[in-house]
Structure 1
Amino acid sequence: MTTPTIDVHAHVLLPGIEALVAGLPGHAEARELDARRNGPAALAVNGPMVGERIPQLTDPAVRLAAMDAQGVDVQLVSPSPSHYHYWADEETAEKVYRLANEETAAHCSAAPDRLRGLGLAPLQHPELAVRALEHALEQGLSGVEISSHAPGRELSDPAYEPLWSRAEETGALVFLHPFGCTLDERLDRWYLSNTVGQPTENAVALSHLIFSGTLDRHPGLKLIAAHGGGYLPTHIGRSDHAWSARSDAGAGCAHLPSSYLKRLYFDSLVHDPHVLRELIRVAGADRVLLGSDFPFDMGTEDPLGALRAARLSDADFDAVRGRNAATLLTEGLS
């Protein structure tokens, strides 16, 4: 039996969440911060770009037709990161994650053999994160999607230990997908907020998980980093050097930072076949998964073509195309 082609980086838009938070205290301020970080030129493009893609983002039939055209058998569908709303208070955050989990599950239920889903966990309220994960699993989802940080908290914060523990125990997937970059207005032109901001946030978040010893304490954690892990995999030698040369850098984790890349998973969305080959070299072909960022413009409309461009061996190609993700989705929640 041929292994299905599985895209682990695809999004669903959930209008009910935006209706839920509209007008609440803190919402306007969050939108203003997002506008400052992106800049007016990016916002002028973003609105029409998303608007054109509403059918792919909301209608399962349109999604499935697009998957057929791409040669994708299965998508792991996660809420648009715009739905994180990490500004929200505890009561609102619980409403957001419950609605996100339920609506994502409903979307995927249209084709359960082809659509698997992820929910949300409110990182701004660590005490809710495990509850959100449990609720996602109860809906039949495969895990949760999180950003690279929450206001005032990095992923190395001890408050997240219960989340990592429970995800490890259940085999749930955790999809690390940044939204917004704290470099703020420095990136407010030329869409640097995304092209530089996303890979920066990935690198910072993964470094926190590595250097803090989080991955030592939770070796079975199934964490998938979007955008190929950002800048970290191709610049991991600098981290290794610091760990070896400085007592402060090496104090928190037991092994060379580069060794932890083989404990993480990465999507293939790096937009450069040479970078993809390097990611596979440092992380291992068994740790890279096909990803497209469907259907946004910073993704790829031909994920398999992007994978072929890396000129991998047949075994590595098949691993990234679907075998690795199939194993993850089979092991998790089994």
Structure 2
Amino acid sequence: MSAQHPTVDVHAHVLLPGLHAEVERRAPEEVAAAADLERRRNGIESMKVSGPMVGSRIPKLTDVRERLASMDAQGIDRQWVSVSPNHFYPWAGEGLAGWVAGETNRLVAEHVGQAPDRLTGLGVVPLQHPAHIVEYLDDAVLGRGLAGVEISSFAGDVELSDERLEPFWARAAELGCVVFLHPFGCSLDERLDRFYLANTVGQPTENAVALSHLIFSGVLDRHPRLKIVAAHGGGYLPFAIGRSDHAWRVRPDARRCEHEPSTYLRKLWFDTVVHDPMALRHLVEVAGGSRVLLGSDFPFDMGSEDPLGFVRSAGLPSEIVERIAGANALSLVEDRVHA
């Protein structure tokens, strides 16, 4: 891409080993229980593969020089950096969760601050404690200068349709910041404990469920200025949205939103981590070329080593490719700056 149109990868992760060590020191029993849950959800076979995979990528996940070298090799000018979702700690109590959010925001800002011309940071909020979310959203965006926050698809008993989250959605819309939806874990649990189904089926399922909560509950009607970016192309929802539309038309209990669910796909943003050129073309068709953003899931094995090459392989018009490669992401952040 030319210097006038820098390429932007909106889905790239950072690992914070020091933070995790401190969480483990403060809550050893809870960390052990969470690790056991992950083993049950993913299965021993997948855990044996994932451990060495993540271990081999530690330099890319922690060292800014390694990150920039990888970006150069991929032709990426800028990354949006968010923590690996294992840092959500959705089980954490009020005090620990607040500390984790504040410290995560500080460390992400410190990481991206080493290369501010190349890196944009996203913080976190304690989703399982709605009363404190606005406090840490402000901490991330106003206190640390981050572009927004990353959230999971649910946390404990908190779904994204939960009325207790209304102040958060209102504040995020007011700030014009990005809310990056990235699931961690799946409520289907042991049903997905083999063949890596916890990821291949679990992640798209969680995206679809979370986005459906946002749509059907009317969150997007009440807060039309929200900038929600869904990882993994929004999961299954963009590809089965017709069923949601049908339910909205025929069932009163599914008619809590003002319009057919499919119309809200053009009020959300989606990354390109869909692994299939045909799926990418469909995503562009249902969401629009201005609503799809380049993503890689850097640097994990379920991501893309060549995200730009993947987008170009889909046979999309050059104007759409240019938007996806960077223009759409830049517009989101520029709007926040001038909001």
Q: Are the equivalent residues in 2 in contact too, given 1:3–1:326 (CA < 8 A)?
A: no
1:5 aligns with 2:10: no
Residue correspondence of structure 1 range 175-214 to structure 2 within 5 A: 175-214=180-219
Equivalent position of 1:160 in the other structure: 165
Pick aligned residue for 1:114 from 97, 103, 118: 118
Residues in 2 aligned to 1:128 and 1:35: alpha-carbon distance in whole angstroms: 30
Amino acid at match of 2:228: L
Q: Distance in 1 between matches of 2:58 and 2:248?
A: 46
Matched, 1:226 2:228: no
TM superposition shift of 1:333: 3.4
Listed as ranges, the matches of 1:59-208 within 5 Å are: 59-137=63-141, 138-208=143-213
Contact 1:285–1:319 (CA under 8 A) maintained in structure 2: yes
> Does residue 282 in structure 1 map to residue 294 in structure 2?
no
Using the TM superposition, give the Cα deviation of residue 26 of structure 1 relative to its aligned residue in structure 2, in angstroms: 2.0
Cα distance in 1 for partners of 2:31, 2:185 equals 15
293, 302, 309: which one pairs with 1:305? 309
**Matched residue type, 1:48:** P
> Which amino acid is 1:204 matched to?
V
Query: SS at 1:26's partner residue?
Result: helix
Q: How many Å apart are 1:144 and its aligned residue?
A: 0.4
Tell me the residue number matched to 1:30.
34
1:21 and 2:7 are equivalent in the alignment: no
Matches within 5 A, 1:193-272: 193-250=198-255, 252-272=256-276
Calculate the aligned-residue CA RMSD, in Å: 0.8
Separation (CA, whole Å) in 1 of partners of 2:129 and 2:247: 32
Structure 1 residue 292, shift from structure 2 partner: 0.2
Q: Indicate conservation of the 8 Å contact 1:170/1:333, yes or no.
A: no
2:73 maps to a residue whose letter is A
Q: Secondary structure at the match of 1:291?
A: coil
Q: Give the structure-2-normalised TM-score.
A: 0.97
How high is the sequence identity, in percent, across the aligned residues? 60
Q: What's the TM-score once normalised by structure 1's chain length? A: 0.98
| Mapped partners of 2:253, 2:222: distance in 1 | 19
What is the CA deviation profile of residues 154-202 of structure 1, one whole-angstrom value per residue up to 9, with x for unaligned ones?
A: 1000011111000000011000000000100000001000000000000
**Alpha-carbon distance, 1:246 to partner:** 1.1
Q: Which amino acid aligns with 2:249?
A: S
- Secondary structure of 2:308's match? helix
Could you say what secondary structure the match of 1:118 adopts?
strand
- Offset, 1:21: 1.1
Deviations 1:289-318, CA, capped at 9 Å, x for gaps = 000000000000000011011111011000
In 2: Cα distance, 1:221 partner to 1:244 partner: 25
CA deviations over 1:249-304 (Å, ceiling 9, x no partner): 11x10000000000000001100000000000000000000000000000000000
- Structure 1 residue 127: Cα displacement: 1.0
Alignment: residue pair count: 333
Give the Cα separation in 1 of the matches to 2:31 and 2:161: 26
| Aligned-pair CA distance for 1:2 | 2.1
**1: CA distance between counterparts of 2:330 and 2:128?**
31
Alignment partner, residue 273 of structure 1: 277
Q: Secondary structure at the match of 1:322?
A: helix
Q: Which amino acid aligns with 1:244?
A: R
Instruction: Render the CA deviation track for 1:86-105: whole Å, top value 9, x for unaligned.
Output: 10011100110111101111
